[in-house]
Structure 1
Amino acid sequence: MFAKAKYREPLSQRDGALFLTDGGIETTLIFQDGFDLPYFAAFDLLRDAKGRAALMRYYERYIAIAKADRMGFVLESPTWRARAD
C-alpha cells in the first residue's frame, strides 16, 4: 500500500483561488521588446545577461499585476523549445 503524498492536498491551485498566467512570452519579446528569437525559441535569451534581464522584465510585469490583485502567478518557462543538443 502506498502512503498518500502530504503535499497534494494543501496546494492553493486546488482551492478555487484565481491565478494569473502570462500572455505569450515569445510574441512579447519579438514584437514589443524587439528581440530576434530564432525558431521562436526564448530559451536562447538565457545565454547572456541582456537576455536574462529581458526575461526578468517580462515576468516582473505579470508579477506586479498578480501582487496588485492578490492572486497567484503561474510562471511559463522559456524553455519549451529547448533540447540538450
Structure 2
Amino acid sequence: MMVEVQNGVIEKLAYFSIAIAVIPLCVLYAALYGYCDPLIALIFGTVSAQLRQVVGAILAVLAVNVVLVVYVVSAYKEKDEKED
C-alpha cells in the first residue's frame, strides 16, 4: 500500500525542521551576547552572565514552542485533498 504525499508537505516539514534547530540557537546566542540585556535589566534590575544564560535558555525554549505551535496550526489549516 503506497501513501501519496501532498505537494509541499515534505517541503514544509523541512522548513520547520530547520527553523526548530536554528531559531532557538539564534535566540540563545542573542541573549548570551547581550542583545537581551534591556529585558534582563527591566526584569531583574541587574545584568550578569548567569542571568544571560538563564534568560537565553528560557527564551530558546519558548522559541521552540512557538515554532511547534505555528507548525501545528499551519498543518491543521491545510486543505485535505481527498480523491473521489
Q: Give the TM-score range, shorter chain.
A: 0.3 to 0.5
TM-score normalised by L of structure 2: 0.35
The structure richer in helix per residue is 2
Q: Tell which has more relative contact order, 1 or 2 (C-alpha 8 A, sep 6+).
A: 1
TM-score normalised by L of structure 1: 0.35
- Structure (1 or 2) with the larger CA radius of gyration: 2
The structure richer in strand per residue is 1
